[in-house]
Amino acid sequence: MKQAIALLLLAFASSSAFAAGRSCEELKAELTAKLDAHGVKDYTLEIVDNADIKADRKVIGSCAAGSRKIVYSKNKPST
């Protein structure tokens, strides 16, 4: 049992390290594909520095070793 838990923790740590190594553009493209596959429309994803996160946007990803975030915002309908 301890070995199974150790293997799961190792797998999780490896996947986290891999994810941290991806570029922000790669992660943004992956998130865009997932949102599109779920039928989400009229949104914008932006890559921003941590200091530039605005309250009206939702953080949906982290990249560049945590120094940048990918934020989601719903586009307002044009009138």
With a pLDDT cut of 90, the percent of the chain lying above it is 56
- Element holding 49 (H helix, E strand): strand 43-49
One-letter amino acid at 65 equals A
Predicted local confidence at residue 3, as pLDDT: 54
Question: CB-based burial of residue 69 (10 Å sphere; 0-12 exposed, 13-18 middle, 19+ buried)?
Answer: buried
Predicted local confidence at residue 14, as pLDDT: 47
Polymer length in residues for the chain: 79
Quick one: residue 66, left, alpha or beta (phi over 0 = left, psi -120 to 50 = alpha)? Answer: left
What residue spans define the domains of the chain? 22-79
Predicted local confidence at residue 54, as pLDDT: 86
Question: CB-based burial of residue 41 (10 Å sphere; 0-12 exposed, 13-18 middle, 19+ buried)?
Answer: exposed
Predicted local confidence at residue 56, as pLDDT: 81
